[in-house]
Structure 1
């Protein structure tokens, strides 16, 4: 009987120890890497270096993410504030929208649907040379399509 009780206690301690370890792993997975900022369930990284849109996307992918996708006006406004806090101005900044694959069909580079946008008046243009999304344009801080070869800072996002 003592052996059975001892075995039961040992199994219980082992189970508790594994549960605590799993809980610790989950906790670490929900935090952001050093230099990244958490907002909602995602982590953001502002990169001040000026890259083309494609270079910026490659950089973000190498960091385990993509150029930022925006899902709501609340997120867009937070992203503007985040850029301002890093750059000390509302700099024009690449985010992950593009219609380079098919004109007028906008997609986020992370594969999520392009449902929210904050286009400037008259945007997007229908020219095949304006295929990438830049935010913080002009005093209205809106978004516009721009040639992908221009160089701007950018924001990466990862889950």
Structure 2
């Protein structure tokens, strides 16, 4: 089952003191920050990174001045966009479950892959950071039923590029998770307890 996600914005709201004049951020339905934040006490408005809530420079406007149009369609700093999806390669080994939790906190999931283009795009991200093609966790898993594969972001499992050296129907383990860069560009399953680097993604509005 997919994990419930409480975004950083929701956490800040819960922990904000309820005193007059103190700014409390506004959040979307996913727990992320709304792209434009305004202070009820001062009337100032500004644009923020929807994941971190950090103010975007040169976007703050005083009361009575036309507000900057905050862009909801861009990826945060250090994330890379392909189509309507933002990807980030995380060069910090974690188990598969820890990696998924990290991606959830960032507002997304471990990456799902639906084409050779996306597979190659993620490969490029991993090589840019490490100068090689390290084994990298992505969001494929057969947690519910051995041999029945799904993505943690709920999208259809419609891309398969299994390593020829790995038997995808091997059901000796009760849970497998998906790594990429096995044999350069292939996918293979692995025990979810092994630490590995990983790639997160989230969707942006068209």
* TM-score normalised according to structure 1 size: 0.80
Residue in structure 2 matching 1:59, options 102, 113, 116: 102
Residue in structure 2 matching 1:80, options 118, 123, 126: 123
How far apart, CA to CA, are the structure 2 residues paired with 1:37 and 1:97?
Answer: 20
Contact 1:129 1:147 in 2 (8 A): no
Residue in structure 2 matching 1:152, options 177, 193, 196: 196
Listed as ranges, the gaps of 5+ residues in structure 2 are: 1-65
Question: Which fold has the larger relative contact order, with Cα–Cα distance below 8 Å and residues 6 or more apart in sequence?
Answer: 1
Pairing of 1:1-159 with structure 2 (within 5 A)? 24-25=69-70, 28-121=71-164, 122-124=166-168, 125-129=170-174, 131-138=176-183, 140-159=184-203
1:88-142 deviation line (CA, Å, top 9, x unaligned): 110000000000211111000001111102100143132225500000013x431
Report the count of equivalent residues. 136
1:8-58 deviation line (CA, Å, top 9, x unaligned): xxxxxxxxxxxx969x23xx1110111111111111111110000000000
How far apart, CA to CA, are the structure 1 residues paired with 2:157 and 2:167?
Answer: 15
CA RMSD in angstroms, aligned pairs only:
1.7
Name the structure where helix makes up a greater proportion of residues.
1
Listed as ranges, the gaps of 5+ residues in structure 1 are: 1-19
Which runs of 4 or more aligned residues in structure 1 lie more than 4 Å from their structure 2 counterparts after TM superposition?
none
* TM-score normalised according to structure 2 size: 0.62
